[in-house]
Amino acid sequence: MTKRTTQYVCQNCGATFAKWTGKCESCGKWNTLVEEDLPEKTHSQITAGKGGKKFDFVDLRGAPEIIFRLKSQIGELDRVCGGGLVPGSVILVGGDPGIGKSTLLLQAVAHLSETVNKAGSPTKCVYISGEESVDQVRLRALRLGFSSANVALASATNVRDIVATLESGPAPDVVIIDSIQTMYSDTLDSAPGTVGQVRASGNELIRLAKRLNFTLFLVGHVTKEGTLAGPRVLEHMVDTVLYFEGDRGHHFRILRSVKNRFGATDEIGVFEMTESGLQEVKNPSALFLADRRGNIAGSCVFAGVEGSRPLLVEIQALVAPMSGQSPRRAVVGWDAGRLAMILAVLEARCGIIFGAKDIYLNIAGGLKLTEPACDMAVAMALVSALTQKPVPADMVVFGEVGLSGEVRAVPQSDLRLKEAEKLGFKKALIPPQRSAKKECKESAIHKTEVGHLRTLTDIFRG
């Protein structure tokens, strides 16, 4: 019997199989198995026969070392990373092609090269592109006004060469690999971008980053389904996972942290893509509300929170006569299932009948909202669209809605109200406040507590 030399690897979850099947038995996805070479040595072969070295244990107690962080001077990026870049940490930046990952990281290294590292010498930055030629990167730097920044630039894709180069020179402080899907390790035969290659080259580069103690940025492309190609293998290996998202039709971009060993997750940074690169947006609420016209039925301002940051956004609803065979429900920027739930609650619990109407819901500006706190604002926009009565222009709304129509408390009410006050809003519809918790006391905004969605209609009548 000949020895097996290949295996089948699921490109979605990284599970391995001896035989090809149409459906991955691990994650249930179809047509994701790709034949790849078996790693030359298995784990047990590597460890067999060798005696390991003994190590010492320490106490859980003890003063933690204060972590030094490099500051990229891009406040939004530093905040999303937990207050700066930790030497020896690995940050995966995912996003759709063309969203601005290369632009963001080139700006970051250009700024970083002007700062000093822990030892007090200038931060050494390296940018390795596997997708673009040196000239293309230079052209972009010129466009961004950084052509004289002290950044070491190279176009390379072989991980062995990259490791040899970085090991031989003076140790870098920050290294950008753009992108991990173009890198290949010559110990494997499979093509760049396959799970095997992404895992092997990711592993090599991460080990190097830990050994030489530099901050490593790995750029990763997102597949059509919205996940990083080879997602699980990479996400587990790195310290921080950031997603760069946004709508190509809109000029703003959001950098979101979904995993961070050195800071809070769900933190967002907001940028605007301009002719001269990405600009930080210090006041995102003002940006998202910039095009709002007051006194229009179907529009409601939601006071949201993303990470540690309050964010006001306009929710728009349109209720129109049915145009097809069955009523249409179209949602942009929110969960369609959640819209169906709110509609059902309004109909069954509050007697507000939408019936055979087309319903469209849009989060203005191309933002994607996931907070349940958005429920009441959506209900408000829907009722306003149906009754053709505008929500007062100086009112913000937040609160989660339960299946019986009750409105539930949401976290960080104070933060939401303060932001609304700052932007000139005068009224707020909020969930009932627990008396023990003295939230929402500070702001001068006029607050109306709503216990049940049924009472929403009173606001339109009044």
The bridge status of strand 33-37 relative to strand 125-129 is unpaired
Which stretch, 167-175, 271-279, 371-379, 453-461, contacts ligand TYD (CB under 6 A)?
Answer: 271-279
One of 220, 277, 333, 366 touching ligand TYD (CB under 6 A): 277
Distance CA 34, CA 196 (A): 10
Express the helix, strand and coil content of the chain in percent, nearest 5 each: 30, 25, 45
Cβ proximity to ligand TYD, 103 vs 384, nearer residue: 103
Least separation in angstroms between residue 93's CB and ligand TYD is 9
Cβ proximity to ligand TYD, 102 vs 197, nearer residue: 102
Cβ proximity to Mg ion, 254 vs 379, nearer residue: 254
Cβ proximity to Mg ion, 176 vs 428, nearer residue: 176
Q: Is the sign of the CA dihedral 359, 365, 367, 369 positive or negative? A: negative
Q: What is the CA radius of gyration of the chain?
A: 26
One of 12, 32, 72, 103 touching ligand TYD (CB under 6 A): 103
Least separation in angstroms between residue 217's CB and Mg ion is 12
- Which x/- pattern, by CB under 6 A, does the window 142-171 give for ligand TYD? -xx---------------------------
- Which x/- pattern, by CB under 5 A, does the window 178-217 give for Mg ion? ----------------------------------------
One of 82, 100, 263, 333 touching ligand TYD (CB under 6 A): 100
Q: Is the peptide bond before 179 cis (omega within 30 degrees of 0)?
A: yes
What are the backbone angles phi and psi of residue 18, rounded to the nearest 5°? -80, -30
For 461, the token pair is 């009548």
Residue 95: contacted member of Mg ion, ligand TYD, none (CB under 5 to 8 Å, by partner type):
ligand TYD
Cβ proximity to ligand TYD, 38 vs 153, nearer residue: 153
Left (φ > 0), alpha (ψ -120 to 50) or beta: where does 430 sit?
A: beta
Contacts of ligand TYD in 66-95 (CB under 6 A): 95
Distance CA 286, CA 227 (A): 30
Cβ-count burial 399-432 (b if 16+ within 10 Å, e if not): bbbeeebbbeebebbebbbbbbbebebebbbbbe
Q: Does 99 bind ligand TYD (CB under 6 A)?
A: yes
Q: Does 253 bind ligand TYD (CB under 6 A)?
A: no
Distance CA 446, CA 424 (A): 12
Residue 69: contacted member of Mg ion, ligand TYD, none (CB under 5 to 8 Å, by partner type):
none
Distance CA 228, CA 447 (A): 43
8 Å CB contact between 120 and 248: no
Half-sphere CA count of 285, side-chain side, radius 13 A: 22
Least separation in angstroms between residue 273's CB and ligand TYD is 5
Which stretch, 20-28, 138-146, 280-288, 323-331, contacts ligand TYD (CB under 6 A)?
Answer: 138-146
Which stretch, 61-69, 119-127, 139-147, 399-407, contacts ligand TYD (CB under 6 A)?
Answer: 139-147
What are the backbone angles phi and psi of residue 256, rounded to the nearest 5°? -120, 135
Q: Does 228 bind ligand TYD (CB under 6 A)?
A: no
Contacts of Mg ion in 72-131 (CB under 5 A): 102
Least separation in angstroms between residue 131's CB and ligand TYD is 8
Cβ proximity to ligand TYD, 100 vs 230, nearer residue: 100
- What's the angle, vertex CA 356, arms to CA 353 and CA 358, rounded to 5? 100
Contacts with ligand TYD, residue ranges (CB under 6 A)? 95, 97-103, 140, 143-144, 273, 275-277
